[in-house]
Structure 1
Amino acid sequence: MGWIADRFSKWRAGRRERQEIAESVERDAARRRESLADPSLTPSERLLQWWGEPSPGVGDDQLEQLESRYSIRLPDDFRAYLKAAMPAGNEWDAEGTRWWPLGDIKSIHEESKAHSYWEAEAGDDKRLLFADYLIWCWAWAVDCSDGPNRGRVLLVSGANHYVADSFDDFLDRYMRNDRSIC
């Protein structure tokens, strides 16, 4: 008879745990809906609220070092993200995207040197990778050139192409689970 009570107790504990997980998922979903609906937030602020975690961001001196390293000027909306929302470490979000900390951000050209099967294209020295999906199924880069694609976000997947007209546009579409950016 003791084994029945033991099994019943484990069943109740498992049921309670599943209920707590479901409640946590619903709280996260509600927080995300709230962040998307608040027009007073910038896309970077919305992203922080959407993640539900504070982020240290980076200072102007670190951003100037990044710009100097690649001889670029960061687009304003990407700079705002780095200052306000950039994670400090290897942060994975619930969707499987790793948002790169400042020390990992690099040009597509620089990243291609680590992969013998991947050749850099013209202009890749001015496109900075900032996030990847599920351990490099694909990645995203922002175009920091002074050309006509400045500020646009590029999907880096072998058949690279632009998927957003600005970093803010990318963030909004990412948080709305818009599959056109993948």
Structure 2
Amino acid sequence: MSPPTASSYPADKPSFYRDVVAQTRAVVDPSLPLVSNLANVAALLYWAYHDPAVARPVNWVGFYLRSAARPDTLLLGPFHGRVACTSIRIGQGVCGTAADERRSVLVRNVHEFKGHIACDSASESELVVPLVHPDGRLLGVFDLDSTVLAGFDEVDQAGVEAITAALIETVASWSFE
């Protein structure tokens, strides 16, 4: 049996997200390739949710990105979790809806979301935040899944929106093509 791991995150959500936003700003490096930075942000949040003090039942954290070659489709980007869908048409499923409407979509029960795409049958709830460049271009979405109903709430939505805002302000000059 392993010894208990010391927690590095506060248990209350507003403080947790404040810390993760600060860490996002610290780990994102515009001199590195985009994929490297997105991988670090996905890993950061996935493992932060699994910190002993936080212990959130999150089973997938990652990105779907828009490609110039397939502008009507989101393609799988860096993530942490089980094998995922590799492409999602814009306008379909939770990710495609968030991309199409360019707004965050919080789904407390994925089985009640018409057209939900079940990439992992263990997922019960989902939060998707669009990544929109300051010039208005849709870059992709940040997708999070939980294994429990109502695994995310409005505090999580605001927190993940703050993470994506920190990411976008850092990567605004990068090409997502």
Alignment TM-score > 0.5, same fold? no
The structure in which a higher percent of residues are helix is 1
**Which structure has the larger Rg?**
1
TM-score (norm 1): 0.31
TM-score (norm 2): 0.32
Higher relative contact order (CA 8 A, sep 6+): 2
The structure in which a higher percent of residues are strand is 2
